[in-house]
């Protein structure tokens, strides 16, 4: 089943990102399926993080359209109308390339984590998770004025926010560290906390930049279980960049391979694993003859394998 073709959540069309003379991503198109775990892989410098930064609004793409539908389908005519209207969003449909980074999280509900963990190190674990619910609490505090005079509705909203945070802490097994500074946690715990913090913004799409980097095999297995539960229980689609192929192959529903800013393969983990171009990209094969050689090598190995 190829959900990314039938029920896409995000359509990336002809995305290009040029820095000065350097083209980091060129004419990249792919779809992220609703309810899928989609992996974006490729060698170092392939442009994966650039794609992430474009989707989450940290970069303005040079060219291209990023259309996201929070609940319904991405209808072509509705999308065309929105594109021509010059608006950033209409109803359920969002054009991410027109929106600022904080708007993308707040309105389109796309959340992200970072390759180098960006927790608020000097704030406690619980505070980190409360800050993530900033926009809801800001509304509840009537833009601070209601909070200043201690409105009961604000206090109720805060209690609710704390409860949600504690539920997540139980889920990632960090409840006993709730009052410790986030910077004091071990690396693996920080990774999980960052994911929980992103989840507390109620995302429909969670973008994870190398979530398994630096984790030991046990933590890696825990992460896999957590990501599955996010997909199945929270109904949040996941887009992840990952170098750990065992993680990618285990949990992904859909894999996209980038090399030098271009898409070289797109399909199920099985499709991608057997694609000679992917093998060539990862093994660093130089020219066409070598690709042909790699292809025949793969064919030979596939024949031998049961």
Partner 1 sequence: MPLSLAHALKQAAIAGLLALGLAFPILALRSDQDMNNRLIVETRWSWAIGAALAIFALRLIGLYLQHWRANRPQSVRSNEARKDYGTPLAWAGLIILFAFPFVILSLLGPQGALKWINNYGIQILIYVMLGWGLNIVVGLAGLLDLGYVAFYAVGAYSYALLSTTYGLSFWICLPLAGLLAAFWGILLGFPVLRLRGDYLAIVTLAFGEIIRVVLINWIEFSNGSAGISSIPRVTFFGLPFTAGEGGFAALFGLEFSPIHRVMFLYFLILCLALITNVVTLRMRNLPIGRAWEALREDEIACRSLGINTVNTKLTAFALGAMFGGFAGSFFAVRQNFVSPESFTFIESATILAIVVLGGMGSQIGVAIAAVLMIGGTEVLRELDVLKAIFGEGFDPAQYRMLVFGLGMVVMMIWKPRGLISTRTPTIFHMKRRAVSSDLVKEGHA
State the residues that interact with partner 1 by CB under 8 A.
56, 58, 101-106, 111-114, 118-124, 126-127, 130-132, 134-135, 137-138, 141, 144, 147-148, 158, 162, 166, 175, 178-181, 183-184, 197-198, 201
Residue number with CB closer to partner 1 (158 or 271): 158
Q: Which of 40, 34, 16, 1 is nearest to 278 (CA)?
A: 40
CA 89 to chain centre: 20
Spatial distance between the Cα atoms of 211 and 251, rounded to a whole number of angstroms: 13
Q: How far is the CB of 278 from partner 1 (least distance, A)?
A: 30
Q: How many other β-carbons are positioned within 10 Å of the β-carbon of residue 176?
A: 10
Helices within the chain (DSSP H only): 3-6, 48-55, 76-85, 101-103, 125-131, 134-140, 145-148, 152-171, 187-199, 217-232, 245-251, 269-273, 276-283, 288-304
Q: How far is the CB of 122 from partner 1 (least distance, A)?
A: 3
- Main-chain phi, psi angles of 179, to 5 degrees: -100, 10
Q: How far is the CB of 117 from partner 1 (least distance, A)?
A: 9
- Greatest Cα pair distance in the chain: 74
Residue number with CB closer to partner 1 (125 or 294): 125
Q: How far is the CB of 51 from partner 1 (least distance, A)?
A: 16
Residue number with CB closer to partner 1 (103 or 297): 103
Mapped onto helix, strand or coil, the DSSP state of residue 36 is coil
Residue number with CB closer to partner 1 (105 or 220): 105
Residue number with CB closer to partner 1 (178 or 221): 178
Q: How far is the CB of 180 from partner 1 (least distance, A)?
A: 7
Spatial distance between the Cα atoms of 241 and 38, rounded to a whole number of angstroms: 9
Q: How far is the CB of 276 from partner 1 (least distance, A)?
A: 37
Residue number with CB closer to partner 1 (44 or 144): 144
């Amino acid at each position: 089943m190829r959900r990314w073709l039938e029920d896409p959540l995000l359509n990336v069309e002809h995305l290009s990102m040029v820095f000065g003379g350097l083209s980091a991503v060129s004419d990249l198109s792919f779809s992220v399926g609703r309810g899928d775990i989609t992996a974006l892989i490729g060698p170092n410098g392939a442009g994966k993080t650039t794609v992430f930064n474009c989707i989450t609004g940290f970069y303005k793409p040079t060219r291209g359209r990023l259309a996201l539908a929070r609940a319904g389908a991405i209808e072509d005519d509705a999308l065309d109308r929105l594109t021509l209207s010059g608006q950033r969003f209409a109803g359920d449909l969002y054009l991410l390339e027109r929106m600022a980074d904080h708007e993308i999280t707040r309105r389109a509900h796309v959340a992200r984590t970072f390759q180098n963990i960006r927790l608020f190190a000097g704030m406690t674990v619980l505070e980190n998770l409360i800050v993530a619910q900033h926009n809801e609490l800001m509304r509840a505090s009537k833009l601070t004025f209601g909070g200043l005079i201690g409105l009961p509705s604000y206090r109720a909203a805060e209690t609710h926010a704390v409860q949600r945070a504690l539920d997540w802490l139980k889920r990632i097994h960090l409840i006993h560290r709730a009052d410790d500074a986030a910077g004091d946690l071990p690396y693996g715990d920080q990774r999980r906390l960052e994911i929980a913090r992103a989840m507390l913004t109620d995302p429909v799409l969670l973008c994870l930049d190398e979530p398994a980097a630096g984790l030991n095999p046990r933590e890696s297995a825990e992460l896999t279980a957590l990501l599955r539960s996010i997909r199945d229980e929270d109904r949040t689609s996941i887009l992840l960049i990952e170098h750990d192929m065992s993680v990618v192959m285990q949990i992904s529903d859909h894999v996209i391979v980038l090399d030098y800013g271009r898409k070289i393969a797109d399909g199920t983990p099985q499709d991608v694993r057997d694609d000679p171009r992917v093998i060539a990209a990862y093994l660093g094969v130089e020219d066409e003859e070598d690709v042909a050689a790699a292809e025949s090598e793969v064919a030979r190995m596939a024949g031998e394998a049961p």
